[in-house]
A and B are shown apart, each in its own frame.
Chain A
């Protein structure tokens, strides 16, 4: 903490909100959050499938027109209202608090399965040394390692080789979280992120020297210009940018609430956004160079070996590791990168939840962290290291992404822009201390382009998922852990908003009042409050004889 919670006289003074000790640490942490598993295993395949080199155009358009504007929206809300997601939205407007809790609950779902993937990657870094999968990487992953049940369901047959690494992931993460923003989150990111970049650069260099690397890159970068006429390709670009930047589910709101009052929000955000995309381009080069090698070795064209997600990481890459020169090193670098990319993202996801409860209950950092993270870890350890863990992970991931993050983002931008009319106020806040100034264009993008793009994607997803069973799982399974879970997040958010903020909560925070007064002195105007006052004044006038 940046100051002692106990005053000199021995009386307990309110604990001051922690702040990142420097802008550099905030940027590192925000990049650590944005660069996750998706950058490594999702982007290369999405880009390849949607036009290859030509995908760059919709990708950059989506980055500049939706990703960065949304990132700035999150920054402005978190930094102006200086709280976790529920507290920030509550301070924006009393009725907006459920949006914050919706984001917190989305993070809860992601956290419980994200830890499982990090644990698998950690084990696979180890397996790479002995090439434990032999010559059947797919069979080894599903049958030997995960011991996956044939049918989707809910089993409590635990798989020890998944359970213990998951336990280790949770212990490491909880220790980091208990240490707080500066001693935990900042330090972890300051170590893990540079380590990730170094490991990944070595991996890319090694991949480029493999036979067939150039064929892989050729396939990846050859443009298919016709793809640009397909609206699905543009939706894929907007969807990818949206998930890749970790926007609109509380993370960036929470992290920016730990920034000092005078911070260059947009300048920092540009670095974060382009660093995230820069890492994706690097991942595309590394992954497709390795897939080129796989294609040459298997005597198949690149399109037959290209894959994304779990298939790329736990089936294609182990096959490459088995056949490549210095394959063990390649495996350790690849899976090690997944572990560090995943850990820095998991930390940020958990911080959304910890900060929310810390603010609402007014508890100390340590107490709030333990009370929040231990139950989350237990739920995660009960549901995912089992023989049905992979199916549960698959369904919860697909539904929380589309009907959690995407739906919540759409509702949030509509409420903040058209509903509350808060964009001019937030724009002014961004411009007060930032170097890259936002004009009316930002408001048009956030209030117009982004809702249209998100709405289009959401309608598409609702149509797809309601007409066919996701992954051919039983209807009850997708109904409970997919649709049911997504609906429960909304109900849960409304219920959590009904819990009153007590006197110890951060809603009544003298430090924020001081901050708020300085903001208002510098020109911040709450239009809602002004409008309400005007209405009240008019009513009073009408009542006067």
Chain B
């Protein structure tokens, strides 16, 4: 692979997969509102 192709590959991976990691990190910082969870007997079995 040429250096320019390798550079573009790394940039593509960093922006898209980095964006995914950032989005997941943001979501993990804000857990779901527990008050809104259904009562335990209404929850489906674990998947």
Contact = CB atoms under 8 A, between A and B. Distances in A.
B42 A3 contact: yes
B26 A217 contact: no
A428 interface: no
Contact of B27 (A21, A54, A217, A267): A267
Nearest to A281: B16
Contacts of A22: 32, 37
A214 B1 contact: yes
Interface string B6-33: 1011011101110110111011011011
Interface string A358-379: 0000000000000000000000
A260 B39 CA distance: 13
A59 to B, nearest CB: 9
Contacts of B32: 22-23, 260, 263-264
B44 A268 contact: no
A222 B44 contact: no
A221 B8 contact: yes
A401 interface: no
Q: Is the interface of B mostly helix, strand, loop or mixed?
A: helix
A53 B13 CA distance: 11
A264 B38 contact: no
Contact of B16 (A23, A268, A278): A278
- Give the contact-size bracket for chain A: 35 or more
Contacts of A263: 32-33, 36
A221 B12 contact: yes
Contact of A264 (B12, B16, B27): B27
B29 to A, nearest CB: 8
A330 to B, nearest CB: 22
Nearest to B1: A218
A194 to B, nearest CB: 10
B23 A270 contact: yes
A23 B33 CA distance: 10
B8 to A, nearest CB: 3
B10 to A, nearest CB: 9
Contacts of A222: 2, 4-5, 8
Contacts of A264: 27, 30, 32
Interface string A326-368: 0000000000000000000000000000000000000000000
B19 A277 contact: yes
Query: Lowest 10 CB-CB distances: which A-B pairs, in order?
Result: A53-B8, A270-B23, A274-B20, A221-B5, A262-B33, A260-B36, A274-B19, A190-B47, A221-B9, A218-B1
Interface of A: 2-3, 19, 21-23, 25, 52-54, 56, 60, 182-183, 186-187, 190-191, 214, 217-218, 220-223, 260-264, 267-268, 270-271, 273-275, 277-278, 280-281, 285, 435-436
